Amino acid sequence: MAYLTTVTDPAWTIVGTADFNMDGNPDILWRNTTSGKNLVWYMNGVAITSTAYVSTVTDPAWTIVQ
């Protein structure tokens, strides 16, 4: 059995999944509800292959939708 990395800061929440880098694997989009930072985990199964911050949006009313 494999597990993802533990994220202990409750301000970070998963807000979406999609194949953001077009490699055929679903990736995970995180948003920090306190800071407004947005981060993508590029995945290969349960392994994180790389990460990338995307534009920060500090307005707490802003949400990501799919």
Give pLDDT, residue 28.
97
Give pLDDT, residue 66.
65
Q: What is the pTM of this model?
A: 0.87
Q: How far is CA 32 from the centre of its chain?
A: 9
46: how many CB neighbours lie within 10 A of its CB? Answer: 10
Could you list the pLDDT tens digit for every one of the 66 residues in the chain?
Answer: 677 778 889 999 999 999 999 999 999 999 999 999 999 999 999 999 999 999 999 888 888 876
The whole-angstrom separation of Cα 44 and Cα 58 is 30
